[in-house]
Amino acid sequence: MSGILFLRSAKDDEETDAYIRAAQKEGFEAENVAVLSSVFVNVDALSLLLEQSQQKGVVATSARAVNALRRVWDGVSADAKACWNKQPFFTVGPSAISIIEQMGFTPSGFESGNASNLATFIIDNLTSSGPLLFLSGDKSLNILQERLKEAGMALDSMMVYTTGPNPQFRCQYEAAAERLGTRLKWIVFFSPSGVDFFLEAGLSVGQCSVASIGKTTSACLMERGIPVHVEAARPNAQSLLEAIPINTIPNARPLVPLTPSNALDISVSDPQKHGEGTSAFVNYLVTTKTSLEAFSSPVVSVRRRFQDFAWLHKALSDEYPYVILAALPGKHRLEYITGDRFSPEFIEKRKVSLDNYLKRVSRHPLIAKSQILRRFLESNEIVPEFVAKAAQAHVLDNISDVLLNAFSKIKHPDPKYVEFKEHVDKFQETLISLERLHARLIRSETELELDMLEFGGCITTLGLMETQITSPLTDFGTILRNLCTLMRERINHEDLVYLTNIQEYIGHCMSAKETLKTRDQKQTDFEELSVYLQNHITDRDKALNPQRGGGGIASFLSTKMQELQGVDTERARQTKIIKLSGKITELQEAVQASEEMSIAFNKELEREIDFYERIKLDDLKTDLKAYVDNQVLFYEKSLEYWDQIVPIIENIQLEDQIE
Do 241 and 249 touch, CB atoms closer than 8 A?
Answer: yes
CATH superfamily for domain 416-650: Arfaptin homology (AH) domain/BAR domain (1.20.1270.60)
Average pLDDT of span 528-542: 88
pLDDT score for 95: 66
pLDDT score for 478: 92
Query: Rounded CA gap, 556 and 566, in Å?
Result: 16
Average pLDDT of span 132-147: 84
pLDDT score for 558: 65
CATH number assigned to the domain covering 3-35+167-248: 3.40.50.10090
pLDDT score for 12: 44
pLDDT exceeds 80 at position 599: yes
Which of the four pLDDT bands, split at 50, 70 and 90, describes residue 391?
A: very low
pLDDT exceeds 80 at position 332: no
Which of the four pLDDT bands, split at 50, 70 and 90, describes residue 253?
A: low
pLDDT score for 560: 63
pLDDT score for 549: 52
Average pLDDT of span 275-285: 87
Average pLDDT of span 413-417: 90
Domains 3-35+167-248 and 416-650 share a fold: no
pLDDT exceeds 70 at position 539: yes
Average pLDDT of span 157-162: 90
Per-residue pLDDT tens over the stretch 54-76 = 888 999 888 888 989 999 998 99
pLDDT exceeds 80 at position 597: yes
Whole-number percent of the chain with pLDDT over 70? 86
pLDDT exceeds 70 at position 334: no
Which of the four pLDDT bands, split at 50, 70 and 90, describes residue 140?
A: confident
pLDDT score for 386: 37
Which of the four pLDDT bands, split at 50, 70 and 90, describes residue 635?
A: very high
Per-residue pLDDT tens over the stretch 358-385 = 999 999 888 888 888 988 998 877 654 4
Residue with the bigger pLDDT between 332 and 9: it is 9
Residue with the bigger pLDDT between 348 and 93: it is 348
Helices (H) and strands (E) in the chain, counts: 22, 14
Average pLDDT of span 226-244: 83
Cα of first residue to Cα of last residue in the chain, in angstroms, is: 106
- The residue extents of the domains of the chain are 3-35+167-248, 38-163, 264-390, 416-650
pLDDT exceeds 70 at position 249: no
pLDDT score for 171: 92
Q: Average per-residue pLDDT in the chain? A: 83
pLDDT score for 142: 80
Query: Rounded CA gap, 360 and 348, in Å?
Result: 18
Q: Identify the architecture of domain 264-390 in CATH.
A: 2-Layer Sandwich (3.30)
- Continuous segment of H or E residues that includes residue 470: helix 470-493
pLDDT exceeds 60 at position 389: no
Which of the four pLDDT bands, split at 50, 70 and 90, describes residue 455?
A: very high
Which of the four pLDDT bands, split at 50, 70 and 90, describes residue 437?
A: very high
Per-residue pLDDT tens over the stretch 97-109 = 888 888 999 888 8
pLDDT score for 232: 85
Average pLDDT of span 540-550: 71
Sheet (strand 209-213) strand order: 29-32, 3-7, 184-189, 209-213, 230-232
CATH topology of domain 38-163: Rossmann fold (3.40.50)
pLDDT exceeds 50 at position 403: no
pLDDT exceeds 60 at position 79: yes
Average pLDDT of span 645-656: 78
Query: Rounded CA gap, 135 and 90, in Å?
Result: 11
Specify burial of residue 319 (Cβ count, 10 A radius: 0-12, 13-18, 19+).
middle
Q: What DSSP assignment string belongs to 303-360?
A: EEEHHHHHHHHHHHHHH-TTS-PPPPP-GGGGTTS-S-TTSHHHHHHHHHHHHHHHHH
pLDDT score for 640: 93
Whole-number percent of the chain with pLDDT over 90? 30
Query: Rounded CA gap, 360 and 6, in Å?
Result: 34
pLDDT exceeds 80 at position 569: no
Segment among 175-179, 309-313, 405-409 with least mean pLDDT: 405-409
Segment among 26-30, 152-156, 419-423, 542-546 with least mean pLDDT: 542-546
Listed in sequence order, the residues at least 6 apart from 109 whose beta carbon sits closer than 8 Å to its beta carbon are 90, 91, 92, 118, 121, 122, 125
Average pLDDT of span 564-570: 67
